[in-house]
Structure 1
Amino acid sequence: MFKQVNHDRLTSRLAQTSITLAFAAVLTACANYAGIHSDKDMAEPQSYATAQSLPAADGGRWPAPDWADQFGDAQLHALLDEAIAGSPTLDQARARIAAASAYSETARANTLPQVGASYSWTRQRYSENALVPPPYAGSWQSENKGLLSASYELDLWGKNREALRAAVSQVQASQADAEAVRLALDTSIARSYNQLARLYALRDITQSDVAQREQIVRITAGRIANGLDTEVERKTADANLATSRATLSALDGRIVATRYQIAALLGKGPDRGLSIDRPRLGIGDEVRLPGNLPADLVSRRPDLVAARWRVDSMTHDIKEAKAEFYPDINLSASLGLDAFGFGRLLTAASRTMSAGPAIHLPIFDGGALRAQLKGRYADFDYAVATYNQTLVTALSDVATGLSQIRSTDAQLVDATSAQDAARSAQQLALTQYRAGLTNQLTVLNAETNALAAERAVADLKMDRRDQQIALAAALGGGYTDTQADAIAAR
């Protein structure tokens, strides 16, 4: 008896060992991802040399979400609010967020148990020479079947969980994309609005030039009457006046076109642009960079944040693809009623039940899983490269914006001095011309120089404001990623 027990135990152990060895052999023969990897990493902003190009300043700070209010124009603020409410471009971005959210809900559903119910009715004639015995053989029967079923994938290797995390990261990326679109729209409106202010400033200068040349025409007429000038000077004065008036008309046309452009950015018809009042933009805040550059830029620029989330999403896609190499175990069960006819359907004898696991193990797939994983790694490498390039571009945008503002400030000092000198020379030449002490050519040269100096100063002032707008956008326009710590934790 004792020998028989030991023999049974030995047989059981041998059977278990054989099963284990067989299972190990099957796993060894399964598809695997050996040798597939990536050596790409996201660049750290501190790894780039920026100390000289991006110097921190005392009192420097990041732009606020209402950064456009620094120019003191209530109409600009209202236009930005109007664009957020009705721009088709923003509607497109919101639709992309909704699509990504729907995909994440689908991925979340795959991590939960699935329960369903079904009912079917079938009218069928059963063969007399097949499996169904008499009295049903050779007869028509109505089969009623109602089932309640449930299934659940154990997800031992985290495939569904990683798919969900990838989808959630894509939602975050879409939300950051929407912020990038909003910032681009705000920037475009502000710059177009500043362009409208530029055109009005140039129109004022040209209008003053028209008045000045009308005065020269009158003085020339008086000089001709006194025998000091000829018809050549009259024709020259008339031609210069006509040129100035043509320039004024051209500026009026550009003003209308800019109004239409702003209306399009607002998502409205062109008539909306005609109701925009003349801009009243101020100088704006003093330009000072925050002290935590470039480290915090990655959470302040929406395009950088979107690129980071896409890298995070691809990380989870890779983990999902790796989990495909391991066995899937799915538990399922069903309970229902199945009977011929309606009379016996609701009886205990019509009960039907089933339960059990289903296991899927990839052994040989022709390299499909490895190819899929290679594709995921390629997408990951692309996402990393996109992030790194976006970071380089962001640092360059900030440095370029700051250097342009500093250059414009320096130019304005000299341009303002030149403007003052040209105005004085113009007034002196006009006084001498009226008194008969100089000729018309001297007056025209002085006027041309004064006009160019005024336009140069006006352009530099508008350029500086345009550069301030661009720098605010380069610094993120007041955006902050509240989920940045989630990426760092992962």
Structure 2
Amino acid sequence: MKQQTSKSSIGARTLKLGVSAIAMAALSACANYAGIHSDARMAQPQQYETTQSLPQEQGHWPSADWVDQFGDAQLKALIAEALQGSPTVEQAKARVAQAQAYSETAKAGTLPRVDASYTLTRQQFSSTALIPPPYAGSWQTENKGLLTASYDLDLWGKNREALRAAVSETAASEADEEVVKLTLDTSIARTYNELARLYALRDIAQDEVTRRAQIDSITAARIATGLDTQVERKTAQANLATSRSRVSALDGSILTTRYQLAALMGKGPDRGLAITRPTLGVGDEVRLPDNLPADLVSRRPDIVAARWRVDAITHEVKEAKAEFYPDINLSAALGLDAFGFGKFLTAASRTASVGPAIHLPIFDGGELRAQLKGRYAEFDYAVAAYDQTLIGALSGVATQLAQIHSSDAQLVDAQTAQQAARDADQLAITQYKGGLTNQLTVLNADVTALNADEAIANLKMDRRDQQIALASDLGGGYVDTSADTGHRADVAAQVTPQTHSVIAAAR
């Protein structure tokens, strides 16, 4: 008896070893991802040299209501109206809703599934197949009602990684929505500033009409005393007509700019007709905040979106790796199955099943490896896109700051030139009226004064445009709070501007 038991134990162990050997052989023959990896890493803002271009000036980050600094209530109202009705904002919101739906779908993949079904089938069974008499060769009505349940054990985390990727993509879409809003705010503010420029230039052009009319009047008086001829008179009249044409051209530009503002707001062109003349002020003092490069990554929605997309692709890489391992799905079914209706609701019609289903990829012609390579390519692209976005952000801030400083320096000299040109213009008119100089001298002085006035107006408007652009480049008051949401805590804890642990794990 002992010998028989011993032989049984030896046989059992031999069987287990045989099964293990077969399993190991199967696993060794399976598809694998050996040699597929990525060395890409997200750049850190500290690695770029910015200390000279982006000095610490103890300034403040723009607030969400940064347009208030210009003191124009109409601008604030236009932006608020645009955010309520702009089609571009609605498109961004729809993309967020779509990403949230994908996230909910991915979450469903991590949970058990329960379904109920009922089928009624009228069928003639074969008399030479599996069905025995008396049903063989006869027509029968089969009633089947089942309650089924299934659950993917997700031993390798494929479904969990899909969920994390969807959550990160949702965060990226929400940041994209903020990019759209900030872009819209900036576009309206800059277009509104352009409207202010056109009004300022129109004022100058209207003043020029007045001066040219004065020159024409003086020329007429000089003709009467024999100091000028009809040549000078016709020249004066031509210059006056040209100045009036300039006013008409600016009126047309003002109207089209109003139409542009209406389009940005998502309204019809008639809405632009109600926009009155801007009353924009100078704005706040321009000073950069401290620790700008490091903090910029959480202040710019485009950088935040790029970072979340790197995180999403990271989890998709892990999901693609999990495809190489066995899937184990548990399923169970309970219900009733009977021929006809009479016995359908009886205990004898009960049917039940339970068991696991295992799927192991062995040879797929390289499909899984190609899929993983594609994911790594997307990962490399996302990292490169993040790096480019960061570089563009730093460059944008430095460029706007440099232009603001340049405009400030130009304004000092331009104001000096403007005063001198105005004095020369007034003196030339006085001398021309007194017969001490000719019309050409007056016209030259007038053109110089006109150019000086327009230069001052353009410099002031350029400077404000650059200040608007700088506020936008600093994030326009945006602060990344996506990691504060509870369902994203596990994702946000893994990928931050200071760490690449998830990215490293994906390799």
TM > 0.5: yes
* Aligned pairs (5 A) from 1:77-96: 77-96=76-95
Per-residue deviation, residues 9-61 of structure 1 (Å, max 9, x unmatched): 22222222222222111111111101000011000000000000000103x01
The aligned amino acid for 1:418 is A
Kindly provide the CA deviation profile for residues 394-439 of structure 1, in whole angstroms up to 9, marking residues without a partner as x.
1100000000000000000000111111111111111122222222
For residues 405-424 of structure 1, the aligned pairs below 5 Å read 405-424=404-423
1:7 deviation in Å? 2.7
- Equivalent runs, 1:377-456 vs 2, <5 Å: 377-456=376-455
Cα deviations by residue, 1:67-120 (Å, 9 ceiling, x for unpaired)? 111100000000100110000111111111111111111111111111100001
Matches of 2:304 and 2:133 in 1, distance apart?
72
Relative to structure 1, the CA distance from residue 14 to residue 133 in structure 2 (aligned partners, 3 Å threshold; closer, same or farther) is closer
2:231 aligned partner: 232
Cα deviations by residue, 1:365-399 (Å, 9 ceiling, x for unpaired): 11111110001000100011111111111110000
Distance of aligned partners of 1:163 and 1:348 in 2 relative to their CA distance in 1, 3 Å threshold: same
The residue correspondences of 1:138-287 to structure 2 (distance < 5 A) are: 138-287=137-286
Aligned residue for 2:341, secondary structure, equals: coil
Residue 18 of structure 2 is matched in structure 1 by: 18
Tell me the residue number matched to 2:330.
331
- Which amino acid in 1 is paired with 2:182? L
The Cα of 1:194 is off from its aligned counterpart by 0.3
C-alpha distance in structure 1 between counterparts of 2:300 and 2:137, whole Å: 76
| Partner of residue 458, structure 2 | 459
- What is the alpha-carbon distance in structure 1 between the residues aligned to residue 136 and residue 231 of structure 2? 121
Q: Distance in 2 between matches of 1:363 and 1:131?
A: 33
Measure the CA separation in 2 of the matches of 1:377 and 1:264: 41
Paired with 2:413 and 2:44, the residues of 1 have a C-alpha distance of: 41
**1:141 to partner: Cα distance:** 1.8
Supply the distance in 2 between the matched residues of 1:174 and 1:448 (Cα, whole angstroms). 53
- Structure 2 residue 57 is the aligned partner of structure 1 residue 44: no
Distance 2:158 2:126 in 1: 46
Q: CA deviation at 1:5?
A: 2.8
Amino acid at match of 1:191: R
- 1:41 counterpart SS class: coil
Deviates more, 1:117-126 or 1:70-79: 117-126
Confirm whether residue 372 of structure 1 aligns to residue 371 of structure 2: yes
Paired letter, 2:91: Q
Measure, in 2, the Cα distance between the counterparts of 1:379 and 1:396. 25
Aligned to 1:50, the other structure's residue is in SS state: coil
Q: 2: distance between equivalents of 1:28 and 1:456?
A: 77
Aligned partner of residue 146 in structure 1, secondary structure: strand
Displacement of 1:131 after TM fit? 2.8
SS of the aligned residue for 1:63 comes to coil
Q: CA deviation at 1:126?
A: 2.5
Partner of 2:488: none
Query: How far apart are 1:2 and its partner, in Å?
Result: 2.9
**Distance (Å, rounded) in 2 between the aligned partners of 1:86 and 1:406:** 36
Query: Which amino acid in structure 2 is aligned with residue 97 of structure 1?
Result: V
Pair 1:134 & 2:133 matched: yes
Shift of 1:196: 0.2
CA distance in 1, matches of 2:482, 2:270: 41
Q: Name the structure 2 match of 1:300.
A: 299
In the alignment, the residues of structure 2 paired with residue 376 and residue 127 of structure 1 have an alpha-carbon distance, to the nearest angstrom, of 50
Partner of 2:32: 32
Q: How much has 1:232 moved relative to structure 2?
A: 1.3
C-alpha distance in structure 2 between counterparts of 1:247 and 1:253, whole Å: 10
Distance 1:367 1:137 in 2: 47
* CA offsets 1:193-226 (integer angstroms, 9 cap, x no match): 0000000000000000001111111111111112
C-alpha distance in structure 2 between counterparts of 1:330 and 1:137, whole Å: 35
SS in 2 for 1:36: coil
Tell me what 2:100 maps to.
101
Aligned length: 489
Residues of 2 paired with 1:141 and 1:318: CA distance? 52
Gaps of 5+ in 1: none
Name the SS of the counterpart of 1:271 in structure 2.
Answer: helix
Q: What secondary structure does 1:244 align onto?
A: helix
Amino acid at match of 2:13: R
Distance in 2 between residues matched to 1:199 and 1:245, nearest whole Å: 15
Alignment of 1:347-362 (within 5 A): 347-362=346-361
- Rounded to whole Å, the distance in 2 between the matches of 1:279 and 1:384 is 43
Residue number in structure 1 paired with 2:482: 483
Q: What's the CA shift for 1:228?
A: 1.8
What is the one-letter code of the residue matched to 2:3?
A: K
Whole-Å separation in 1 of the counterparts to 2:34 and 2:201: 68
One-letter identity of the residue aligned with 1:42: M
Q: Which amino acid aligns with 1:9?
A: S
Please tell me the residue identity of whatever aligns with 1:469: I
**Paired residue secondary structure (2:292):** coil
- 1:115 is matched with 114
Match of 2:486 in 1: none
Q: 5+ unaligned residues in a row in structure 2: which ranges? A: 484-491, 503-507
Instruction: Kindly state the Cα deviation for residue 158 of structure 1 after the two structures are TM-superposed.
Output: 0.1
SS at match of 1:354: strand
**2:4: which partner in 1?**
4
1:299 is paired with a residue whose SS is: coil
Question: Equivalents in 1 of 2:364, 2:440: separation in Å?
Answer: 89
Cα distance between partner residues in 2 of 1:40 and 1:138 = 67
- Quote how far apart the aligned CAs of 1:178 are: 1.0
Paired AA for residue 5 in structure 1 = T
Instruction: Supply the distance in 2 between the matched residues of 1:396 and 1:483 (Cα, whole angstroms).
Output: 26
TM-score when scaled to structure 1?
A: 0.98
Once superposed, what is the RMSD of the aligned Cα atoms? Answer: 1.2
Amino acid corresponding to residue 166 of structure 2 in structure 1: A
% same residue: 71
Paired AA for residue 269 in structure 2: P
Q: Which residue of 2 aligns with 1:310?
A: 309
Runs of 4+ more than 4 Å apart: none
Q: CA deviation at 1:291?
A: 0.2
CA distance in 1: counterparts of 2:26 and 2:405, whole angstroms: 70
Letter of the structure 2 residue corresponding to residue 203 of structure 1: R
